[in-house]
Structure 1
Amino acid sequence: MNEQDLRQLLTVSVEDVLPSQPATAGWERARRTRRTRRAVGAVALAVTLVGGGTVAALRPSADPPTVGPVAPTVTPTVEPTHAGPVQKPPTELTFPPDPLARIADPATVRLSERPVQRALALFQPLDEENRADGPVRVLGDDGVVRSLDVVTPAPTRDAGGNEAAAVKPGVLSPDGRSAAFAQTGELIMVDLTTAAVRRIPLDGYLELVVWANDRVLVGGDDRTYAVDRITGAASTFDVSAWDVVAPDPAAGREAALIEMIGERGGLTLRSRTAREGTVRSEQPITGDALPSPYQVNEFYGRGWLHGERLARAAWITNSEIDGAEGVAVLDARTGGVTHLLDLGRDRAKGCCPVLGWDNRGAVLLRLEPAGLARWNPETGEISGIVRDLRGMVALAG
């Protein structure tokens, strides 16, 4: 064996001998491998991100971005306040500005000098003995208070000699252009837009007036006349001037007339034809919507229609007394009492007659200590118009 063969043999023998620290060598090789892979991976990721981001920035999106549903804008609605069937006035009334409040002002001009285009109210001042205390006042829609100087209506009288003021709820026409005064033996009609006076002779003691569209109903204890407001022609009419309800001016000339008759246990709505006065129907007045022990005992004063609602003052039974003062609103179609204003027991008897409705659906009434007040049956709101008004008031429709 020569020297070359010996060197080759030794080389082969050394390659078959394993390192003295195989675990350390293995971990070192693995460490180097992982470090190399991480470095390569990081470089590849960076290249991918840069390239992908550049492409994404330069390439338009094939699909629009997904947008979640947009919730509709909800505007909160204010629900109207509905009061209960029985309501009471507040202890202290507020008195917001009101055109009718000027009726308490003294007259500054005579009607003959300056007629109205439309009157809002008539007012007859009374002294402590309920006698006329000065001329009748006319409040125009211009805010000016006039004195009724073209005629001085006398107090009304009945067969027993009892007197009452000439101005009563109902004497002013709904359009505010005319006034009609019941007198013993005649009806006095005044055109407030011209100050012209017309006297229509009629028999009997006449006390009450109701404007019924194109006619004026005027009557007393034993008879009622229907007087044409244009021609003055009069005929007897089979309806009680005490019980007939003032029609809604918007109802039309052929709208039925309604009477409210009877006492507790027998209160009734009676419907009559507008022209002949023939009875069409009768139905009981009920208080099923009222909580116990509330009920209507008897009505007084003038009743007033507004659409299908009817308002009238009444003596009522409440939780304290049988005979309290109140105001009732009825459904004129069914006779059901829908709202009742409980005015309590500490008021003068017959204190609070209804004077009509305003154009917003509020009832206008006399109310102590306020001279006039507004009551909204739907919301229960009640506010004053005039304080301590001594005298009689008639309002336009």
Structure 2
Amino acid sequence: MNEQDLRQLLTVSVEDVLPSQPAAAGWERARRTRRTRRAVGVVALAVALVGGGTVAALRPSAAPVPPVGPTVTPTADPTHGGPVQRPPTELTYPPDPLARLGDPATVPLSERPVERALALFQPLDEEGREDGPVRVLGDDGVVRSLDVVPLVPTRDASGNKATAVKPGVLSPDGRSAAFAQTKELVMIDLTTAAVRRIPLDGYLELVVWAHDRVLVGGDDRTYAVDRVTGTASTIDVPIWELIAPDPAAGREAPLIDMYGERTSLKLRSRAARDGKLRSEQTINASALPSPYQINEFYGRGWLHGERLARAAWIVSSEIDGAEGTAVLDARTGRVLHLLDLGRERGKGCCDVLGWDNKGAVLLRLEPAALARWHPETGEITGIIRDLRGAIALAG
């Protein structure tokens, strides 16, 4: 048997090998569990590389090898304003006022109150414990230490603890901050450093500023606290799923919350005053190319006009359980843009922290501590590098 006969025999022998099958099997295994998504993804990729490389080596060079992996409907350039976008491999860091948040505090708030705060920051150590006082970044670029009241971690009935600084504690105008504490709401006027304590029953964990009120609560109840009088009443809204209202909307604008998983994801509208349910609709992800879909939302969501942004776990072209950020039409529940952040990030890594006044989404993003995403164009830039801690931004 000569060399030509041997090449023909080897070519025929591999024509029945379907390189897509090992990758598809790996992808299906990844769909079954989020906990093992990275391991399964590595296996699928390795099989694809070995299988695809073997076929390429044995086939004549004139016959290209078909791609291995899930079929994805062609989309617009993922770095531009299509329905699915991806961050660049490396972020640029143009000058930004928020970049000063990484600087140490130079003066106490009690000695030099702000006219307006841009952000709050609670440094954390590698084990997630508080590592120094809360910092207040003013619009004058000065970083202050929050010295007017001692804040303790929030906790629930089971004893689980979390830092008192969370997305949503800083008012949209940057003039006040409100902190959930066990059995009380602590409100601070950052322009005078004055402190008010409002006694409330129960374990309180989360805060949402809603125009003339502060909504605060935990697992079993939510209070609505008047910003001026401090009077409180219970309101029937789920504080964990509540979307932070647009500060430009009127005080009677409906409250919106989201809940559910996969095909059962829902968007609900509630009356502003009492939280009574007005409408409910299924979230529509039909604009996303296959196989993209949203599994579940997490973290605080934020309204900006008629658009809503929130972090999510997604099905991507690589795996089930990738990190993502979604922008939706708040009127219809339709998913407009999805930022695919991939699978090589920590679970729950990338909370949305709000919108800026130019319509960009601000979010946590490894390895950057804070990044700016323009969903209409797909542009993503970094703001702060590697800043470990909890951040709250003004609206």
TM-score w.r.t. length of structure 2: 0.80
Partner residue of 2:236? 238
Cα shift at 1:286:
1.1
For 2:147 and 2:227, how far apart are their aligned partners in 1? 22
For 1:286 and 1:152, how far apart are their aligned partners in 2? 44
How do residues 289-368 of structure 1 correspond to structure 2 at under 5 angstroms?
Answer: 289-368=287-366
Match for 1:196: what amino acid?
A
Match for 2:268: what amino acid?
R
Deviations 1:358-393, CA, capped at 9 Å, x for gaps: 000000000000000000000000000000010000
Partner residue of 2:167? 169
Cα shift at 1:280:
0.6
Query: What is the aligned counterpart of 2:156 among 147, 155, 158?
Result: 158
Max radius of gyration: which structure?
Answer: 1
Cα shift at 1:83:
1.3
Query: What is the aligned counterpart of 1:373 among 371, 374, 388?
Result: 371
Q: Which runs of 5+ in 2 are unaligned?
A: 1-78
For 2:371 and 2:175, how far apart are their aligned partners in 1? 23
Structure 1 runs of 4+ aligned residues shifted over 4 Å read none
Partner residue of 2:212? 214
Partner residue of 2:380? 382
Partner residue of 2:124? 126
Query: What is the aligned counterpart of 1:89 among 87, 90, 97?
Result: 87
For 1:311 and 1:334, how far apart are their aligned partners in 2? 14
For 1:375 and 1:82, how far apart are their aligned partners in 2? 11
For 2:224 and 2:112, how far apart are their aligned partners in 1? 31
Query: What is the aligned counterpart of 1:284 among 282, 285, 288?
Result: 282
Match for 1:108: what amino acid?
T
For 1:347 and 1:151, how far apart are their aligned partners in 2? 35
SS of 1:269's partner is: strand
Partner residue of 1:394? 392
Query: What is the aligned counterpart of 1:180 among 178, 181, 184?
Result: 178
Contact residue 369 and residue 386 of structure 2 kept, 8 A: yes
Cα shift at 1:154:
0.5
Partner residue of 1:109? 107
Partner residue of 1:139? 137
Equivalenced residue count is 317
Deviations 1:234-267, CA, capped at 9 Å, x for gaps: 0001001100100000001010000011111210
For 1:257 and 1:323, how far apart are their aligned partners in 2? 29
Match for 2:208: what amino acid?
V
Contact residue 80 and residue 379 of structure 2 kept, 8 A: no
Query: What is the aligned counterpart of 2:190 among 189, 192, 202?
Result: 192
For 1:256 and 1:206, how far apart are their aligned partners in 2? 23
Partner residue of 1:228? 226
Cα shift at 1:82:
6.2
| Greater mean alpha carbon deviation, residues 207-216 or residues 261-270 | 261-270
Contact residue 101 and residue 119 of structure 2 kept, 8 A: yes
For 1:151 and 1:387, how far apart are their aligned partners in 2? 29
SS of 2:150's partner is: coil
Across the aligned residues of Structure 1 and Structure 2, the Cα RMSD in angstroms comes to 0.8
SS of 1:250's partner is: coil
For 1:133 and 1:318, how far apart are their aligned partners in 2? 36
For 2:100 and 2:283, how far apart are their aligned partners in 1? 37
Higher relative contact order (CA 8 A, sep 6+): 2
How do residues 54-73 of structure 1 correspond to structure 2 at under 5 angstroms?
Answer: none
Match for 2:387: what amino acid?
L
TM-score w.r.t. length of structure 1: 0.79
Cα shift at 1:141:
0.3
For 1:173 and 1:295, how far apart are their aligned partners in 2? 33
For 1:83 and 1:129, how far apart are their aligned partners in 2? 38
Cα shift at 1:219:
0.6
SS of 2:339's partner is: strand
Q: Which runs of 5+ in 1 are unaligned?
A: 1-80
Cα shift at 1:357:
0.1
